[in-house]
Structure 1
Amino acid sequence: MSRNSILGVKGIKPNLFWFIISTYLILGFYVLIITYTTPFISIELNNKDGQWEVEQLAYKKWAKNNNVSIGDIILSVNGTPISDFPFIEYDSSIRGAHHISIKKNNGSVLDIDIRHLDIPQQFYMQFVFPLIYFCFIFLITIYLYFYKRNIQQIKLLILFIITVSLAYISSGASGRMNGIGLIVNSFCLLLCLVLLIHFLKNYFAFLKIKWIFTNNIYFLYVLPIFAIILRVIRLAYPKFASIDSLIILSIFFILLLIILVILFYSYLQYKLPQLKILFIGLVIPFLPFFLLFVLPEILFKKPILDAEICALFLLLIPINFIFLQLTERLFDIVYYVTRLRYNLTITLIFTFWILAGLYFLIGNSLSKEMVWIILFIFISILLFLYIKEKIDYHSRKIVISSKGDYIHKLYNTIEKIGKSYKTEDMIKTLIQEISFHFELSDISVSTYDFEKNQIIPTKYSLVSLEKFLDVSVVKQLSLGEIVKKRHIYIAFIHEDIRFKRVLLIGHRNTIRLKQEELLWLELLLTYINSFIENTNVIEELLQELKQLQKTERNEPAWLKKLLWLRIEDEKFQLAQELHDTILQDHLHIGRQTELLIHDTHEHTIQVKLSLLHKQMVNSLEVLRTYCETLKPPLLSKLGLYDALERLVQVTTERAIFKLTSTFDRLYLEDEQLNLVIYRLIQELLNNALKHSQAKTVTIHLKELDNGFKLIYSDDGIGCDFHKISQSGSLGIQGMQERVEAYNGKILIDSQVNKGVNIEIIIIERSEINDYSTYSG
């Protein structure tokens, strides 16, 4: 079963998506408009002798500014007498209002107009923040559909973040006892948990761990519908007001408890980090709402914190859910957990440090504003750590100094050392680079001889430091290790069977290498060790080949195998060509000759013999062409220029395209290059004959200083050379191998139906091509 089928990945149809978005927008705008048009004041009332007096005030500062106090009699709300409200007997509170009339104890009547900014806390918590979150979720949903529609469980992801968003933004309308707001809030509050259980079931199947809850979870989707029924009954029968909320919160409590048990039990069984991060990212944000609002409301009918404050933590759930899905870090999450724990530890330490400082400076009276300040400090420090990581990575990489970016310098130094082809040259460049970057002259490279048990200085050292070197320290030194002994730093460079090279840097008690410099040096020496290893292998190989040329002994087994495989490839190609051309012609001639033996008509025999003779001549011409391909006779007799002219003439006779060619006379010291040029042009023209379907073909051979340039172009059907190279085409592969064997460059530019352009450059006797420099 595929991964997608396990996770239930299905594309979301456009009609369904736009229906979901339209529903989200309509319901979202509606509940936000209800929240905006009615300020929230939350006054608890008590029926005393038929009059409704103020028992508890949620916003005491507003009440004090408007001379509202406990014991005042509420006369009307928004112009309607308080006794005419249908829910007042079962829900004795005023949630939202524009205008209230109250009667003071002295008998005076106050008319109070209420504006949102009179109570800024409720305006920000119930309208501004939900509006921002509403827009944010809308943009995220659009992004998911258009750019991430193929991610895992796209339907669940979109539905989940939308239901959490609606549950949050509808809390204001629900708190004002708006009917649609009540229904939307209750439905989405339960639906988001059901969707979370649905996701967990699919994800457990992907992890191939046992699902401890029922496999038939679709019955859970009845619970949000049941919440709608309860709210409708409440609206129709006000006496049901105190029961429906209790039932819905109890269902919420049970669903969340199921999720907690599933994750906690499964983590104890399997110890998977994926389950741990699910618990942290998806369940913990529910806990404040669960412990501080739901549970106290069920048990004591009095929450510890208001719903809009607890709901703020729920906003982390869809954000975490999106993060886990889009980055697929559910499958590789250890890094993020570790980094988060590290940053949180540092943040908590400095937050408590600042809190302790404020306590001693200000005193022990921590107001609500102080709590918000501490929260702001905590979030600011955490964000600062993450932003610092990004800045460090992009601008400084790993280390920095007053002289600039050490990592950038490391790249430059490695590039310089990489241009050396002998170990001695690498050591010399290493000393020069370290001296330049550290501004030191007390630098030396020493070699420890295991057989003689003594230190041998190199001739490239800037100063002799061997007198400070302890042999026992050199023996114990390992790769990547830098130690400081007395007046010198000792660093490992490379070790083989007999020798061990170490770097010595003197600091004379006045110059000490900083941590960034030591890290730069450690990384550089790691690269140097690899370079020397590879260089030694190449030097040994070239020395072996050079020795073979002198002694004329038999080639080593690996070289024989390589040559044999290459010869077999060439033989296979030639056999295939002969089978498809000359052999087929000869078989046809043989069959026709056999028929002539039994033919009695003299006139017919003459005609057929004439045709057979013509076919035989053509076949011989083809065979001669193959012989010239294998060993061009004109090349050795008349030279490259005449051989190329002959090749062009033969090609022109066979071609249907117009061929334009110019050849400079070349004077090359390496005679093998003449054969290379001939083979390259021969392969290009053969490809043009067989595959190009071109109308015009041009080929030019130009002389360069110590080399040549070969330019080919046609206006044929072109091709995708990347696919041809991957297919292992012997023609293209052979050209590339010939050019690379002489350290040349070949540039191929072609697209389907846009022709072919090829440029080949080979420089004779370049530094790269002079193999004597390798062996030292």
Structure 2
Amino acid sequence: MKKWTYFIFLTYLILGIYVLGVTIKTPFISLTLDTTNGQPVIIDSYYPHWAAQKNIEKGDIVVAIDGQPAMENRFVQLYAIIRSANTLTIQKSDGTIESIAVKHSDMPEELYLQILFPIFYFLLAFSVALYVWRRNQDNISTFLLVLFLLTCSMGYISTGASARGNLIGMITIGISIVLCLVLFIHFLQHFFRYLQIRWTYPHSKWLYVLPFIIPGCSLIESYVPALREIMPILNLSLFAVLVLYAIYILLTSYLRTKLAKIRLIAIAFIVPFLPFLLFFVTPEILGHRPLLHAEIAALFLLFIPFSFLFIQVNERLFDIEYQLSRLRYYSTLAFFSALLSTAGIALLFLGQLSIVHVTSIFLLIFMVIIASFYIKERIDFKYRKIIFSSTGNYVHNLYAAVQRMGKAKNQQELLDRFKYEITEKLGTTAFHICTITEETPSPKFGSNYTQLLLHDAGDEKILLEIRHALQKEELLWLELLALYVSMFINNLQQIEDLVREIQHMKNTSDTPLPWLDKLLWNIIEKEKSILAQELHDTILQEQLHLARELDVLASSPTIQKETVLAIREQLLNATKDLREYCENLSPPLLDTFGLQMALKKLIQKVKIRADFLLDAQIDRVHFQDVTLHLVVYRLVQELFNNAIKHAEATEVSLKLQAMPQGFILQYDDNGIGCDIDDLIQSSASMGINGIRERVRAFNGDITIQSSHKEGMHIFIQIQEDGDSYDEHTYYR
């Protein structure tokens, strides 16, 4: 499927550049002629404002088009119309000859609707299709959705080439406007199967014959003149029928299931296609004047990429209600903002802008504002730590300060670190931490003093006094940090009480504590619950799915070999997943053949799965504490998982080196790297934090060095007796 997708993307780019090149090469003017007297006399103009500017009037005779006699032009002969031209030579009623240079800039409607908007749509559809495909490359629904987006775009951008009479453009738009709907209906069929909704409509494969009626008729219409009048009506009629059929599928399915996912898809489809159907296609089929020109009605198709950007076929859809509510909110703000901006521009250029100009400006401003809201949202989230800070990175500093204070081993060390953070961040030493008891009266503070309660134990309180006024940001930072200090003090006191209780138990008897047994039991049960949930959400669901497929197969009068083989393949995959779960929970080679053999097996699996070049050097290590073998294995396993999921590296090296009563583990990659402080706070830090906690549990040292685009380098050292260098963690 990947090769086909690459081919489709390449074809889209080549064909899109070609039809856009045809559009840009020659301006579209569409002058209607009367040739009954053997001379091409102008009777109407598609762009009357441009014709008036160029002094082109009804009754003028077109002498030449791009230097060639007008009557030799193919479209003048067949349709009595001049579709496009770079230069015109006309004869006025008084017999004078005028040469007119035709430029895109002289016709803003043509420039916007046939060149600028199609180029924008061409790039937007390609970007969205590429993004959706990369989310899940091996899913048939994703593949169909990508084809739908690209085909819609191809139909839209080829309108200019088709209007100019280009054969490839005419065939492309004829196929695209029908094929895109067939692909959409095919996508619905696969998506309904995923949702386990019964497909009660005809199979979509029979619809694929419809798009290829158009090119066949286009090729023979030159030989059968009657087809020239029938072809556009036939094409638009197929389009109308398929649009109504797709809407019928969506509405009946939603009424039957009431699923929000189907409602989202229905909105994403109806909003772009229904206006084009009502305002242009239907009047054309009925022989009436369209309410909107095709170029204007097609502008609604610009909503397709934006709408389907939210539909991610990655085994599920986005949180739909969240996305819809956010889109509604942004659209409301954008609508009124765009309306006011457009009204202001219209008043500023009063009388100079046509309805096409005003509509185009409104749609452009509307979409730009919506896109700006989403970009602002991402920027605010990424740089929220510093974007509104006037004197420094308060939120980021808060994270770092809490991280540093969390390493305190007792209350006094915690308060000393707290004082250090205040001095460094607020740049002041005019503060004091005091302890108040029942015997010690509470101090009196002035109006410019700031007082915060750090800890309240009933009979003892710890207060922070700062002897000058603080800014709002500084006060908020200090209050949050004081809240953490209060929690740290409570935790430290509980730990101290716990240590004393355990020490007392050890000195008085060997009877285990009931609460300790309860804690261990709860931890074991929690791990069991996590494992059960994991198996339920993955392998068990796969087994239930296979069981339903077997039920369908059993009720079928004929059993297809391909179906049986597909089920067998899914069973093997589920078995493989289960085996991996078991190996991750308890590596079988670790107890049987030792750590070195288990690591070699793990390295072999990583080399098969990973996209990077792995260089691993594993020394034979021996420990008196057997749990260290599992610790080493888990550390290596977590490092590899981090490299596969996040590093985006091309080269990874791992070295396990034995040392007296311990080991050294060194990891390096040339990946994208990261900011360590940002990583610790992100969801992607669970692996790194797990590594840090394992190392800390065995009194080890870990050094992590990383920066953006500089890879990641981790150095771990653990000794059995715990006599490592100072217990610490470095970040650079």
Please indicate the TM-score interval, normalised by the length of the shorter structure.
0.5 to 0.7
Paired amino acid for 2:205: Y
How far apart in 2 are the matches of 1:395 and 1:163? 37
Does residue 1:278 correspond to 2:265, yes or no? yes
Does residue 1:255 correspond to 2:212, yes or no? no
CA contact (8 A) 2:455 2:463 kept: no
Relative to structure 1, the CA distance from residue 301 to residue 180 in structure 2 (aligned partners, 3 Å threshold; closer, same or farther) is farther
Does residue 1:314 correspond to 2:301, yes or no? yes
Kindly provide the CA deviation profile for residues 291-315 of structure 1, in whole angstroms up to 9, marking residues without a partner as x: 4332332345433443334434434
Q: What is residue 591 of structure 1 aligned with on the other side?
A: none
SS at match of 1:95: strand
Give me the TM-score of the superposition, normalised by structure 2: 0.61
Relative to structure 1, the CA distance from residue 505 to residue 204 in structure 2 (aligned partners, 3 Å threshold; closer, same or farther) is farther
How far apart in 1 are the matches of 2:286 and 2:453? 70
**Structure 1 spans left out of the alignment, 5+ residues:** 1-10, 448-455, 469-485, 565-676, 688-696, 702-709, 715-735, 748-756, 770-776
Q: What is residue 502 of structure 2 aligned with on the other side?
A: 545
Kindly provide the CA deviation profile for residues 505-537 of structure 1, in whole angstroms up to 9, marking residues without a partner as x: 8999x95863x5575466546645654564454
Percent identity over the alignment is 36
How far apart in 2 are the matches of 1:262 and 1:503? 68
Does residue 1:347 correspond to 2:346, yes or no? no
SS at match of 1:41: strand
SS at match of 1:224: coil
The Cα of 1:189 is off from its aligned counterpart by 0.9
Q: What is residue 234 of structure 1 aligned with on the other side?
A: 221
Find 2:376's aligned residue among 382, 388, 396.
388
Relative to structure 1, the CA distance from residue 94 to residue 507 in structure 2 (aligned partners, 3 Å threshold; closer, same or farther) is farther
Relative to structure 1, the CA distance from residue 215 to residue 429 in structure 2 (aligned partners, 3 Å threshold; closer, same or farther) is farther
Find 2:157's aligned residue among 169, 178, 200.
169
Q: What is residue 410 of structure 1 aligned with on the other side?
A: 398
The Cα of 1:209 is off from its aligned counterpart by 3.3
How far apart in 2 are the matches of 1:175 and 1:42? 9
SS at match of 1:324: coil
SS at match of 1:42: strand
Paired amino acid for 2:289: K
The Cα of 1:172 is off from its aligned counterpart by 1.9
- Superposed CA RMSD: 5.4
SS at match of 1:330: coil
How far apart in 2 are the matches of 1:17 and 1:765? 55
Find 2:317's aligned residue among 325, 330, 353.
330
CA contact (8 A) 2:699 2:718 kept: no
Relative to structure 1, the CA distance from residue 457 to residue 411 in structure 2 (aligned partners, 3 Å threshold; closer, same or farther) is farther
Kindly provide the CA deviation profile for residues 355-398 of structure 1, in whole angstroms up to 9, marking residues without a partner as x: 56667777687656566555554445444433433333333327
How far apart in 2 are the matches of 1:188 and 1:60? 31
Q: What is residue 178 of structure 1 aligned with on the other side?
A: 166
CA contact (8 A) 1:191 1:221 kept: yes
Q: What is residue 614 of structure 1 aligned with on the other side?
A: none
The Cα of 1:130 is off from its aligned counterpart by 4.2
Find 1:302's aligned residue among 289, 301, 304.
289
Relative to structure 1, the CA distance from residue 169 to residue 446 in structure 2 (aligned partners, 3 Å threshold; closer, same or farther) is same
How far apart in 2 are the matches of 1:415 and 1:95? 71
Q: What is residue 647 of structure 1 aligned with on the other side?
A: none
Q: Could you tell which deviates more after superposition, 61-70 or 416-425?
A: 416-425
CA contact (8 A) 2:276 2:298 kept: yes
The Cα of 1:128 is off from its aligned counterpart by 5.8
Q: What is residue 290 of structure 1 aligned with on the other side?
A: 277
The Cα of 1:40 is off from its aligned counterpart by 1.5
Kindly provide the CA deviation profile for residues 654-704 of structure 1, in whole angstroms up to 9, marking residues without a partner as x: xxxxxxxxxxxxxxxxxxxxxxx99579x99xx9xxxxxxxxx99876xxx
Paired amino acid for 1:539: E
How far apart in 2 are the matches of 1:739 and 1:155? 45
The Cα of 1:199 is off from its aligned counterpart by 0.8
Kindly provide the CA deviation profile for residues 298-352 of structure 1, in whole angstroms up to 9, marking residues without a partner as x: 3454334433344344344246546633777723234433333333333334444
Relative to structure 1, the CA distance from residue 209 to residue 699 in structure 2 (aligned partners, 3 Å threshold; closer, same or farther) is closer
Find 1:760's aligned residue among 692, 695, 719.
719
Kindly provide the CA deviation profile for residues 405-459 of structure 1, in whole angstroms up to 9, marking residues without a partner as x: 2212211331243133446765786688569867797898999xxxxxxxx6798
Q: What is residue 670 of structure 2 aligned with on the other side?
A: none
SS at match of 2:395: helix
SS at match of 2:383: helix
Relative to structure 1, the CA distance from residue 431 to residue 359 in structure 2 (aligned partners, 3 Å threshold; closer, same or farther) is farther
Q: What is residue 148 of structure 2 aligned with on the other side?
A: 160
SS at match of 1:404: coil
Q: What is residue 589 of structure 2 aligned with on the other side?
A: none
Q: What is residue 616 of structure 2 aligned with on the other side?
A: none
Q: What are the residue-to-residue correspondences of 1:23-422 with 2, within 5 Å? A: 24=12, 27-28=15-16, 30-45=18-33, 53-74=41-62, 77=65, 91-110=79-98, 112=100, 114=102, 119=107, 121-122=109-110, 125-127=113-115, 130=118, 149-211=137-199, 214-318=201-305, 320-321=307-308, 324-325=311-312, 330-355=317-342, 374-375=362-363, 377-397=365-385, 400-422=388-410
Relative to structure 1, the CA distance from residue 440 to residue 196 in structure 2 (aligned partners, 3 Å threshold; closer, same or farther) is farther
SS at match of 1:208: coil
Paired amino acid for 2:496: E
Q: Could you tell which deviates more after superposition, 341-350 or 17-26?
A: 17-26
Give me the TM-score of the superposition, normalised by structure 1: 0.58
The Cα of 1:196 is off from its aligned counterpart by 0.9
The Cα of 1:183 is off from its aligned counterpart by 2.0
SS at match of 1:542: helix
How far apart in 2 are the matches of 1:18 and 1:40? 33
How far apart in 2 are the matches of 1:766 and 1:233? 86
CA contact (8 A) 1:441 1:462 kept: no
How far apart in 2 are the matches of 1:238 and 1:154? 42
How far apart in 2 are the matches of 1:121 and 1:364? 16
Relative to structure 1, the CA distance from residue 276 to residue 494 in structure 2 (aligned partners, 3 Å threshold; closer, same or farther) is farther
Q: Which has the higher contact order (CA 8 A, sep 6+)?
A: 1
CA contact (8 A) 1:443 1:462 kept: no
Relative to structure 1, the CA distance from residue 517 to residue 760 in structure 2 (aligned partners, 3 Å threshold; closer, same or farther) is same
CA contact (8 A) 2:181 2:242 kept: yes
Larger Rg: 1
CA contact (8 A) 2:34 2:41 kept: yes
